[in-house]
Amino acid sequence: MNIGNITENYDITIIGAGHAGCEAALACARMGLKTLVLCMDLDSVALMACNPSIGGTSKGHLVREVDALGGEMGLAADECFIQMRMLNTGKGPAVQSLRAQMDKRRYHERMKAALENEPNISLRQDECARILTKNGSVSGVLTALGAVYACRACVICSGVYLNSRVHTGEYHRDRGPSGLASAGLLSDSLRELGFELRRFKTGTPPRVSKRSLELDRMQPQYGDVPAPHFSFLTESADRVQQPCYLTYTNEATHAVIRQNIDRSPMYTGAIHATGTRYCPSIEDKIVRFADKDRHQLFIEPEGLGTDEMYVQGLSTSLPRDVQEQMLHTVAGMEHCSIMRYGYAIEYDCIDPLELGAELKSKRIPGLFFAGQINGSSGYEEAAAQGIYAGLNTALFVKEEEPLIIGRGEAYLGVLCDDLTLKGTNEPYRMMTCRAEHRMMLRQDNADMRLTEKAYRTGLISPVRYDRLMRKKAEIDAARSALSAYAAPGEAINTLLEARGSTAIRTGTELFSLLKRRGVAYTDLLELFDLPDISPESREEIEAEALYGGYIRRQEAEIEKLRSLDGMLIPDGVDYRAVGNLRTEARQKLAAMRPKTLGQASRISGVSPADVSVLAVYIKSLMGEA
Amino acid sequence: MNDTVFALSTPVGGAIAIMRISGPDTRGVLARLFDGRVEHRRASFGRIVDENGETVETATVAFFEAPHSYTGEDMAEISIHGSAAGARKLSQLLTNTGLVRAAAPGEFTKRAYLNGKMDLAQAEAVMDLISASAERSRRAAAMQLEGRLSALVRGLYEEVKSALAQLAAYLDDDSAEPEYESSGIADRIKAVAEENRKLISGGMRARVLREGARIAIVGSPNVGKSSLLNALILRERAIVTPIPGTTRDTLEEPASIEGVPVVFIDTAGIRETLDEVESIGISRAKREAGAADVILLAVDGSRPVNDEERALIREILSAHPQNTVAVLTKADLVRVNETEAGKLASGLSGENCVDAVSVSALTGEGLDALKRLIAERIVPAENEAAVTNARHIAALEEAGRSMEAALCRLEEGLPDAAFEDLRAAMKAFAHITGAEDMNEDLVNEVFSRFCIGK
């Protein structure tokens, strides 16, 4: 194919400007590289096409991790939220997570402005038609409007737009979310480059008019006061907040769905793609959990300047009239008026087993992928992959070592490790139970886990770095002050009894008092000579005291993981020559070509004995060399 | 690879048991449980003590400092008296220190290789060893845990997984109003913990080591069961006459086979009889056969088998195909009836996969072969398999400790910590059952049972 003259030169092209694309672009630009961002519709930059909220269990962790790496999502969310709530407060610090309701229009504008204000970013409305390669490596992109942009690397963040098709009952159209256009050109280019494309599916519920709801018949849910915030940079985020509302489906709702189930495209066979078990449609829930007599619905405002409300829990692709009928059976929604109908959407994605740990194609140098194209679901999962792929693309262009974040370091590490080593057969959603070391991977210590590690990228601003150093110094000071002993006395014993704990009779280390359930740092601060530290530092110290044994155990496991990940497998290993591997392991290893023994050990079908055999084999190779 | 591992490096039941320890914490481990001196290249005599400082037994400990050892790491060899129970107690003490874990198959050799203690030519052999050992211990695990015990451990794994899924749904549930609760989880864990305790204390392996394997000698009257008993224990314990039905009650006699304690049980010959005393003896014989770890099915090899005997053989073989050894007795007389015995033996071993052996109580012919067959059923076939076994017991104990901890954390209102303990318990069970991908298994369970998500 004859490609015309080069229109412009860039270092990196980001394809798509959703939650992954925005973070990827900002990371590349902030690392000093000339970055082009292609987006099919600039009014849909950072569009929250599904629910108007950011965070939630484990997703809130991801937002904090993106922030700790110098990303934008946390800051933007802190500016644009209309409700903020810490979830799971009664279940222990490891599973606490922030969730924020967004003004989704403002969020889009805020994120678009961030891109516009970055001197190294050119934001352009156009569709990528083809990835260009030279000698097998990325050399540029060709757009639908015929422009040729030369670049050394690309991050594909196409979200759910590739060959997307939406379904509402008998209505089927080749569209993207919310009536936007589908991207029809890039899939063929990816196939040409040797990627096998798969079809995944997700869905969204109807949006209803707030004035048509009887909100006083629902249970309101308010934000926390004062409002907590995501970013380690945000000082205070207090503001007037908007409530959400709780209501429930009932037998009548379920009867409507059951009567019309044959009209659902999931059941008529119009949809062939794989949906996520985490975000099931209401028709799926009724079929799969037939014994549940009601399902919770959570009514969320879409923003301050709109009457639209999002009906979380009612994702559906049933026909228009069925959507009306079923909503009208719900308490407080009997007369509700639907403004946008729910739909299911299918789209092309790649098999993430094609990717190395840093989300880079194993075959085509310079080609990176992030977000739903990798088979994940969710804004936060996308943003986390976005910044990770973005900063690694920049490191690639600069010819520096990649920054690998492991399972023991972040949810982001678990996410990318799972995707690239285990793969996924459905849109992958983060869950706290996927993280083996979650006592360590808390949302409060994301900065302690990641900020220093990412320092060499240049994404960490001096302010952010100074804050972390201050926090660490505070924690160290508190730790050493807590090694003092408390003598038994009336004041301390009154406190302990008031906290439901037993009195002390001998001198006791303050730190061990903090281990007792119900005893807080602030309690001890009143009685002993301790430094007055920030709430964030207190959280860290209290978690250390409460979970000491677990944290030490997990640290030891992480150390083991790290040492396995430190053992590199040479590039050209011929697995057929390793006689003692079991056949299944040999095939998997040959197909996946892991870079380290640690990665090899996490591939399903590779046993510990296989890993041992491989270790010995590699050692013998090195002996020969 | 810088953790510390241990393994029994002698067959179970030898005169001496040698436990090897290798890794950086070797000295630390010895400091906890050995009161003798620990010096490089020196064997010292001392006492093995438990957590409470009580003497468990005496031992000789040889210590080798890194890199001057077989593995190239700090290493010790603890030699104790060779009872299986002693070795088991020692591995328990080692595990309890929290500093060591049971070695994986071939791990000592692997460490030796990786630390440069072997030359390149040996690499291939090391890989052979690892994969063969892994395969052997996998098979051993499957065989030892065949049937009831395996089903029990699998059941415990599933129960813990199910409780864990409930806890996961509760912890990951971020709906506005918690839809899932943690109530009832504690009771479920208690039930699993109780089952696990029973399995550890009453489990076949532990009981065998404590009380001896029960080996019942059953068969038709006058086929030579009592003579077989006397020959096996090398003295005239049972009264032997040519009169059928001489042994009327069961008779127990402790002995030892390859160092493992056993109890031989001589039983009344099984036949249709009107004699009341004899028929009580016969029903006891059948009960003993049912409860035995190994059944020696005695068949008179010197004469054709009659219909009643044939029926009995079928009955025993179909009821206890796994643990029966057919013993063709009176091998000194057998010449007249070689074909019959041979047919029976091959018929038995071919069709039912039952081992058969010809024995003469008079000349002692075949007795060693019989003892080996018995040993195979009660003693894991080789060194590596014995380690596997210690590993299983250690795994069950680890699961027990983790479940206790989980219960405490739930009590304290720390469900997130309880989850970690429960996951450790699930992992310990998975160690035995060999579940493929525990995390994926758990996530699947959560999704299949709980409607979570938006």
CB within 8 Å: A296 and B107: no
Among B30, B109, B113, B88, CA closest to B64: B30
Q: Which of A279, A546, A609 sits opposite B130 (nearest CB)?
A: A609
| Terminal C-alpha separation, chain B | 43
Domain with A481 in it = 467-545
Residue pair A52/A302 in contact (Cβ under 8 Å)? The answer is: yes
Between these two residues, A68 and A515, which has the higher pLDDT value? A68
Maximum CA extent, chain B = 86
Three-class secondary structure of residue A38 per DSSP:
strand
User: So what's the pLDDT on residue B380?
Assistant: 46
- A to B CB pairs, distance under 8 Å: 150
Residue pair B261/B183 in contact (Cβ under 8 Å)? The answer is: no
Separation of CA A69 from chain center: 13
Domain assignment present for A287: yes
Which of A485, A511, A545 delimits the end of a domain? A545
Mean of pLDDT over chain A:
93
Residues A493 and A570 in one domain: no
Question: Scanning the structure block, which residue is given the tokens 């794994």?
Answer: B157
For chain A, what percent of residues have pLDDT higher than 70?
99
Q: What angle do CA A445, A449, A452 make, to 5 degrees?
A: 120
pLDDT at A47 over 70: yes
Three-class secondary structure of residue A556 per DSSP:
helix
Residue pair A14/A28 in contact (Cβ under 8 Å)? The answer is: yes
Residues A533 and A594 in one domain: no
pLDDT at A625 over 80: no
Between these two residues, B86 and A156, which has the higher pLDDT value? A156
CA-CA distance, A538 to A517, in Å (whole number)? 15
Q: Which of B168, B451, B454 sits opposite A289 (nearest CB)?
A: B451
Residues A487 and A571 in one domain: no
Question: Of all helices (H) and strands (E), which one includes residue B307?
Answer: helix B307-319
User: So what's the pLDDT on residue A125?
Assistant: 98
Which of A343, A365, A393 delimits the end of a domain? A343
Residue A606: CATH number of its domain: 1.10.150.570
Domain assignment present for A605: yes
The lowest-confidence range among A56-60, A85-89, B219-223, B421-425 is B219-223
Domain assignment present for A108: no
- pLDDT tens for B81-124 read 876 677 778 888 888 888 898 887 778 877 887 787 766 556 66
The mean per-residue pLDDT over the stretch A440-447 comes to 94
Which of A510, A545, A580 delimits the end of a domain? A545
- pLDDT tens for A287-335 read 888 888 999 999 999 999 999 999 999 999 999 999 999 999 999 999 9
Q: Which of A429, A580, A605 sits opposite B128 (nearest CB)?
A: A580
pLDDT at A80 over 90: yes
| Confidence tier at A59 by pLDDT (50, 70, 90) | very high
Interchain contact A294–B (C-beta under 8 A)? no
User: So what's the pLDDT on residue B243?
Assistant: 74
pLDDT at A57 over 80: yes
User: So what's the pLDDT on residue B382?
Assistant: 34
Residue A241: CATH number of its domain: 2.40.30.260
Residue A457 carries which DSSP code?
G
User: So what's the pLDDT on residue B454?
Assistant: 55
CATH of B4-118, one of 3.40.1710.10, 1.20.1630.10, 1.10.10.10, 3.30.1360.120: 3.30.1360.120
User: So what's the pLDDT on residue B384?
Assistant: 30
User: So what's the pLDDT on residue A423?
Assistant: 92
pLDDT at A205 over 60: yes
Q: Which of residues 204-223 of A touch B (CB under 8 A)?
A: 219, 221
Best A616, A617, A624 residue to mutate vs chain B (most B CBs within 10 Å): A616
Question: Scanning the structure block, which residue is given the tokens 């500016």?
Answer: A79
Residues A579 and A541 in one domain: no
The dihedrals phi and psi of A132, each to the nearest 5 degrees, come to -95, 140
**Amino acid symbol at B34:** F
Go through chain A and tell me how many residues it has: 625
CA-CA distance, A241 to A224, in Å (whole number)? 9
CB within 8 Å: B120 and A623: yes
- pLDDT tens for A538-551 read 999 999 998 988 99
pLDDT at A457 over 50: yes
Query: Does residue A52 have a cis bond before it (omega within 30 degrees)?
Result: no
- pLDDT tens for A104-148 read 999 999 999 999 999 999 999 999 999 999 999 999 999 999 999
Residue pair B313/B218 in contact (Cβ under 8 Å)? The answer is: no
User: So what's the pLDDT on residue B12?
Assistant: 57
Would you report the helix, strand and coil content of chain A in percent, each value rounded to 5? Answer: 40, 20, 40
| Top-level class of domain B127-454 | alpha beta
Residue pair B263/B213 in contact (Cβ under 8 Å)? The answer is: yes
CB within 8 Å: A277 and B453: yes
Interchain contact A550–B (C-beta under 8 A)? yes
**Residue ranges for chain B with pLDDT beneath 70:** 1, 11-14, 83-84, 118-150, 176-180, 201-211, 235-238, 245, 248, 259-260, 322, 334-354, 379-391, 434-436, 452-454
Side-chain-side CA neighbours of B364 within 13 Å: the count stands at 4
Interchain contact A291–B (C-beta under 8 A)? no
CA-CA distance, A552 to A561, in Å (whole number)? 14
User: So what's the pLDDT on residue A517?
Assistant: 81
For chain A, what percent of residues have pLDDT higher than 90?
77
Among B101, B80, B117, B118, CA closest to B26: B101
Domain assignment present for A238: yes
Q: Work out whether strand A35-39 and strand A53-55 pair parallel, antiparallel, or are unpaired.
A: unpaired
ipTM of the complex: 0.87
**Amino acid symbol at A501:** S
CB within 8 Å: B124 and A623: no
For B256, other C-beta atoms within 10 Å of its C-beta total: 12
User: So what's the pLDDT on residue B129?
Assistant: 65
pLDDT at A420 over 90: yes
The count of domains in chain A is 3
Query: Does residue A226 have a cis bond before it (omega within 30 degrees)?
Result: yes
Residues A527 and A572 in one domain: no
pLDDT at A510 over 80: yes
CB within 8 Å: B130 and A550: no
Residue pair B229/B253 in contact (Cβ under 8 Å)? The answer is: yes
Task: List the domain boundaries for chain B.
Answer: 4-118, 127-454
